[in-house]
Amino acid sequence: MNSERDLERERVTSRLRELVCESLVVTPERVTDDASLLEQLGADSLDLVNLAMQVETEFSIVIPEQDFEKLVRFNKAVDYILSKIETAGVVAVEASAEPKLAHAE
């Protein structure tokens, strides 16, 4: 039985593979877990910027420009996106927590 984290990894992997295929016009079979978007799939720096923007929109995360290099290898990109989603989830949970009021005695 898959854990929630495994299911999220599968979802991110599947959707990122679709985005890479659409952006770089490659078949899903070419987008292996260890594929380099630059060397094996023919992406250039503009392709990475466009992919980063699509990923930001798709997963509701922010990718600083200095982190674009983390999207170069497919499996590393999945890990990076998952870490950003988890961080955003923690921030969202903390932001939605009700403030505790101090009671004067």
DSSP track, 11-60: HHHHHHHHHHHHHHT--GGG--TT-BTTTTT---HHHHHHHHHHHHHHHT
For residues 19 and 51, the answer to whether their CB atoms sit within 8 Å is: yes
Domain range for 29 = 4-94
Residue 100 falls within a domain, yes or no?
A: no
pLDDT of residue 88: 81
How far, in Å, CA of 14 to CA of 61, rounded?
Answer: 17
Residue 21 falls within a domain, yes or no?
A: yes
Give, for all 105 residues of the chain, the pLDDT tens digit: 569 889 999 999 999 999 999 999 999 999 999 999 999 999 999 999 999 999 999 999 999 999 998 999 999 999 999 999 998 875 544 444 444 444 554
Residue 49 falls within a domain, yes or no?
A: yes
- Tokens 């260890």 -> residue: 34
CATH (domain of 59):
1.10.1200.10
How far, in Å, CA of 20 to CA of 66, rounded?
Answer: 20
List 6, 33, 44, 67, catalytic entry: 44
Q: Is 67 a catalytic residue?
A: no
